[in-house]
Amino acid sequence: MSCQSCGSVRNRLFNGEVAIHFPRLDGLNKPIVWVFPKLTVCLDCGRATFIIPEKELQVLVTGCAATKSPTPS
């Protein structure tokens, strides 16, 4: 697969750890969203791409931390 920025085919897969913060001061009251994606990095231009899992994506959409389902007793 070629890079979307420069067209290079020199891409490599890495493990990632990303903390996503909401912008501005009101973002301080929102959760930090941690994701641990596989990163595809272009070794020529440095562009990196990754997919955010659905659960973490919902936190970014709503701005609220995901709630845990109650455990059955």
pLDDT tens profile 47-69: 999 999 999 999 999 998 866 55
The two structure tokens encoding residue 13: 């897969």
Query: HSE-up of 53 (CA within 13 Å, CB side)?
Result: 11
Predicted local distance difference test score (pLDDT) of residue 67? 64
Give the integer Cα–Cα distance in Å for 24 and 8: 35
Number of domains in the chain: 1
- 3-state SS assignment for residue 21: coil
In a domain, 6, yes or no: no
Indicate the pTM of the whole model.
Answer: 0.73
The average confidence (pLDDT) of the chain is 90
In a domain, 2, yes or no: no
Residue 3's CB: how many other CB atoms inside 10 A? Answer: 19
Predicted local distance difference test score (pLDDT) of residue 59? 93
Give the integer Cα–Cα distance in Å for 26 and 23: 7
In a domain, 68, yes or no: no
In a domain, 22, yes or no: yes
In a domain, 43, yes or no: yes
In a domain, 71, yes or no: no
pLDDT 10s digits, 16-34: 999 999 999 988 999 999 9
In a domain, 5, yes or no: no
- Domain holding 36, by residue range, is 11-59
